[in-house]
Chains A and B, each alone.
Chain A
Amino acid sequence: MTNRHVNAVVIGAGAGGGPVAKELATSGLSVVLFERGRWAKYDDHDDDELISQRTTVLGNAFGPHRDKHWRIFVDQRSGKETIVYPHEGAYNNNAACVGSGTVSYGAMAWRFMPQDFRMKTTYGHVDGSTLEDWPISYDDLDPFYEKAEWEIGVSGADPQNPFVPERKKHLPMPPFEFNREGRMLYEAAKRRGWHPFPIPMLRNSIPYNGRPGCYRMRTCVGFACPVNAKCGTHNTVIPVALASGNCELRINCQVAEIMVNDQGKATGINYFDENGKGQIQTADLVIVSGSATETARLLLNSKSKLFPNGAGNNFDWVGRNLQGHAYTGAVGLFDRDLYDDVGPGACVALSDFNHGNEGIIGGGMMANEFFRLPYLFTNQRPPGSPSWGKAHKDYHRQNYKRTMSVKGPCQEIPNFDARITVDPSVKDFWGIPVGKLMGARHPADRKVCEFIADRCEEWLLETGAYKVWKEIGGGGGLSGGQHQAGTCRMGNDKQTSVTNKFGQLHEIDNVFVADGSLMVTNGGFNPALTIMALGFYVGNQIVKQWNGTHLKS
């Protein structure tokens, strides 16, 4: 039996794919939304630290499964290639379930700053880097940020942040109150003359959108929400898309290839259904939202007569400029209990150091860290501390409630050689060539990290820590992880980017990308809200073009 032809297939039901599917389906296009994972349920792993999204020592709570998914990781120094599995750090995993990372994320709801969209204009050319401006500005994305904030749901109050343009419309929910460490950090930052404020969160501070308010568990980041107070695409836009009657969700399906005909038009996709059977779904449009690594892998694996190196890849830019975030910060020890179990921990932030730092390219937002759960805490010790034995245990007992950590995602400088490619000699469970990760961060990132770590140290000392140590990120190695971005750069020149400013492949006009892959640079913020905004933005562009009949075949 063949599948009924549809207007659009959307590949990947995550932060980008959810909004696209919703925009298309509610505008009357017939859509099939593909997801390689399944619906995630809280009860599958509830608050089990060892199988969460942050600590994966016993597996990935939200997929993918190591029996079917693996990648090749190339060590930058030795050139040695290793097969890596989703629970290993080098795999740079993103969750595989309906909603993807938005089911289990910490849910910070950051807008990028206007400067983040024009990094080259702001900082000039950087040697060894492909630093560039976005083809769209903050103002172009602004209405779609607003859409994401209202349709998916954000709590917060940022007129307190003087470094960003004022929102045209306030956020739908009030901010979360600070927990004990949040109050201390807020006061300390004020004393330093900085501008702290409550973190905007994709989490219900009050009942909203038919779901209850958050009850502030410690096991939030890395877990699904037991009361459904966390706002992801799985409990907002995807149900709306399905309710429209125009969208079908197919879970447990692995997409293998975009079919491109000899005229250079996409005709649909090849995929393996939940029983592992090969199937074809034809469509007028293909929208890829598989995350920076998997989107690039799918394009690279889609070889055709006009595109022997993969769909839209005749200029060799697909899979390039892979970025994540160099996390950096400091940890402070206090002489009394700070921990009050008002989760998930992170609640106060400042963005005084995102831009305008002398001699530094970019910077990063700084915030208090989510609560460290008991096993994760076993590796959080001042440098030189014993890693086992009585002294290690004493430290755990004495200091679990007495540490505070502030951290930030530093904006990375993209480079051409940090990339994902495909290796035809290594295939996954279905026989599809796996992704191969290689390259390293740009050396400039280390300087940013050192600078931000110094500020974090300063903040903790002002808060009253008697001992502070820095944890400086940005050292060698590849960066991707959950904040992965950049591999299908949007731009105005088809020789130096993959898509145009609407997320449409320069070379195949009925294939779109809608996820973090589009991002030219990754900002100094958690990228989820920006990916959602891009999903709405691309979806909106498609609907406009569709209604102009340009895309109808």
Chain B
Amino acid sequence: MLFPACGGSQKSVWRFLSDDEALTIIAIAEQIIPADEDPGATDAGVVNFIDKQLSGFYSNFQESYRKGITALNEFCHKKYNQPFEKLEWNKQTEVLKLMEKNSIEGEYWKENPSSRFFRMLRDHSMQGFYGSPRHGGNKNYVSYKMIRIDYPHVIGQNRYASRCETLNAFAK
């Protein structure tokens, strides 16, 4: 075997998240930045961003994610008999609004305000959508295209042709 460390069970394609957790995150992020005439969080790969950061700079948030997602899905199972990602769009929106207002029921949320968890998901989703693609999200610069800013910087290209050529060479 060439890469023994990579062998073993084929459990999840994610670095930190489980497949089920990833489904929940995808659904939440899509609520935060929904697709319309422009791509949304799912198309931009926001979940890749979150998963990547959770095994990197955001590793201190791992526990909040794991426990928060579990508690959220417990609530959804109890109330709707379904996990969050299976709920209808409007139901999902309602649940997130409850979280935002700290009115979601559940033992876990008494010690851990759901508004804080929601705010974190909101911020991380925005970072994944509007940040640089190098961090795993904003695939093909979809958000930059949406707000109509050129990338790479067009002004720089015009005046400094050599830099432009260098960048194009890398792009190919």
Contact = CB atoms under 8 A, between A and B. Distances in A.
Given A378-B130, A401-B147, A342 B135 contact: no
A59 B122 CA distance: 19
Contacts of B149: 218, 339, 341, 374, 400
Contact of B155 (A341, A396, A397): A341
Nearest to B121: A388
Interface of B is mostly: helix
Nearest to B143: A374
A280 B35 CA distance: 60
B165 interface: no
Contacts of A57: 123, 127
Query: Is chain A's binding surface mostly helix, strand, loop or mixed?
Result: loop
Interface residues of B, number: 35
A387 interface: yes
Interface string A363-388: 00000000000110110000000011
B156 A389 contact: no
16 contacts: A48-B135, A49-B132, A50-B135, A58-B53, A58-B131, A219-B153, A226-B163, A227-B160, A342-B155, A374-B149, A387-B122, A388-B33, A388-B96, A390-B34, A393-B36, A400-B149
Given A58-B53, A387-B122, A396-B146, A217 B135 contact: no
Contact of B153 (A217, A393, A400): A217
A392 B34 CA distance: 10
List of 8 A-B pairs having minimum Cβ-Cβ separation, nearest first:
A374-B130, A400-B147, A375-B130, A50-B131, A388-B32, A378-B126, A48-B132, A215-B159
Given A50-B131, A50-B135, A374-B130, A218 B34 contact: no
Contacts of B53: 58
A363 to B, nearest CB: 34
A389 B135 contact: no
A243 B9 CA distance: 59
A33 B40 CA distance: 50
A341 B154 contact: yes
B159 A49 contact: no
Contacts of A342: 155
B69 to A, nearest CB: 18
B84 to A, nearest CB: 16
A268 to B, nearest CB: 38
Given A217-B156, A374-B144, 14 more contacts: A50-B131, A50-B132, A58-B57, A59-B57, A215-B156, A218-B153, A374-B130, A378-B130, A388-B31, A389-B34, A390-B34, A396-B143, A397-B38, A397-B147
A217 B155 contact: yes
B110 interface: no
Contacts of A226: 156, 163
A98 B71 CA distance: 47
Nearest to B28: A388
Interface string A321-343: 00000000000000000010111
Nearest to B137: A50
A341 B154 CA distance: 9
Contact of A375 (B31, B127, B134, B154): B127
A343 B156 CA distance: 10
A216 interface: yes
Nearest to B96: A388
Interface in A38-93: 47-50, 57-59
